[in-house]
Amino acid sequence: LNPDDTEARKTMQAQINSGVGPDIIIASDSLFTSDNSQVFANLNGYMDGPAGINRNEFFNSAFRAFETDGKLYQIPLGFQAYALLGNNACANGKTELNYSDYIGLMQSSGSENQIISSSPEQLLCTFVEAEMSSWIDYANDKVNIDKTSLQEMFSQMELFVKANGEEFFVSDIYNYNDLPEQPQEYPENRMSDLFSGAVKFCPAWMNSLSEYSYKEILPGELSWYGYPGSAGCTPLISSTRVAGITYYSTQKDKAWEVIKYMLSEDIQYTISFENNMDGPYTDLYTSDIIPVNVAAFRKLNKEAMGGDVVLGVPQAEMDRFKISTVRMDKLLDEYEETLKKPLRRKIRDERVLDVVISTFDRYLHKELDVSEAADTIEKEIRSMIEG
């Protein structure tokens, strides 16, 4: 199932309600509203049971990111990672930057628009998508919003909008559904601006060793930073392929064996390989899916790179390059450890985005102060989710 499969979703829901239908559902990440015991079985019991898996052989951080209320209803068969590539000097020795850190950077910068290479609309959407799993417990239809963190988000975004030379947020002519999922496709997300020093942080995918190695283009000057949020600063992940066992299945043990097979090294390799139209990582060594199986992850990246990573480091006026190499094994170990650290699930609930964007617009127009804006968002989302 994909986000646009409206009729298929209606059919699936009817089957679920009637107690008939498939034992396994493989879908896009857009089924987050079905993360509950009325639709899916909790896979954690199967993963840790006698016929389970060794979590150490997988990116367990990705599994944990997809949990709802401590239960794993849909398991990612692969995932995409999204983070901020940033200038270490701006971080002042910190490995994590929260909303207030960015506010301080913007307030102290003589050219505030050089902080993050993004549009205000894109950045706000990403911030909100990063908060969804913290704000909303879809399993129990409960809302718990950290309003202090939300107010800091709005304060940062207000500075960011002003720094980008916009008098007000363009929500009246802007449709967030038109924003591309791939940040590099957005014209204001130019990685070259980061390498030239024109900006300090740049949103980017981190889906392959080649992409992870961007930080080595300016050795010692760049690092990967997580997105700020009420649950901490972490990279964000999403998935275009998740699997779950339906709660009404009478063959749950057999269904689990099928899912476990999908998690095996060979199948994980195939899933990532075939998801790329031009082959595994192509000439640019990029990928759309990171395997959750660590052995498959390492195999794919080693095959793609073929050897040590060769980088062209921009020099002077950016019209010439200094060629350097980075040991592949060392870089791959770093990349693996980065993905094993805590991650957060990036959820695109368009209902919530609509509430936040419209409220932020009112805040920018001085119709609400920051406290009133946070209260309004909490009230509307609570009404939407809890009824």
The secondary structure of 40-55 as a DSSP string is B--THHHHTSTT---G
Examine residue 114 and state whether it is found in any structural domain, yes or no. Answer: yes
Q: Which pLDDT score, from 0 to 100, does residue 2 have? A: 52
Distance CA 74, CA 66 (A): 7
Here the CATH number for the domain that contains residue 225 is 3.40.190
Reduce the DSSP state of residue 325 to 3 states and report it. strand
Reduce the DSSP state of residue 320 to 3 states and report it. strand
pLDDT digits (tens, 9 = 90+) for 195-230: 777 889 999 999 988 889 888 888 888 999 999 999
Distance CA 117, CA 192 (A): 10
Examine residue 128 and state whether it is found in any structural domain, yes or no. Answer: yes
Q: Give the helix ranges, DSSP H, for the chain.
A: 6-18, 44-47, 60-65, 88-91, 99-108, 120-135, 147-163, 191-196, 209-212, 252-262, 265-274, 294-305, 328-340, 350-364, 370-386
The residues near 227 (Cβ < 8 Å, ≥ 6 apart) are 82, 83, 84, 126, 127, 130, 233, 234, 235, 236, 344
pLDDT band at 122 (very low <50, low <70, confident <90, very high): confident
Examine residue 336 and state whether it is found in any structural domain, yes or no. Answer: no
pLDDT digits (tens, 9 = 90+) for 13-46: 677 666 677 899 888 766 788 888 988 999 999 9
**Structural domain of residue 135, as residue ranges?**
79-236+346-386
| Predicted confidence (pLDDT) at residue 323 exceeds the cutoff of 60 | no
Distance CA 229, CA 1 (A): 29
- Whole-number average pLDDT of the chain: 83
Rg (CA), the chain: 22
| Predicted confidence (pLDDT) at residue 185 exceeds the cutoff of 50 | no
Examine residue 374 and state whether it is found in any structural domain, yes or no. Answer: yes
Q: Which pLDDT score, from 0 to 100, does residue 367 have? A: 96
Examine residue 361 and state whether it is found in any structural domain, yes or no. Answer: yes
Examine residue 104 and state whether it is found in any structural domain, yes or no. Answer: yes
More confidently predicted of 2 and 137? 137
pLDDT band at 119 (very low <50, low <70, confident <90, very high): confident
Examine residue 97 and state whether it is found in any structural domain, yes or no. Answer: yes
- The pTM of this model reads 0.86
Domain count, the chain: 1
Examine residue 282 and state whether it is found in any structural domain, yes or no. Answer: no
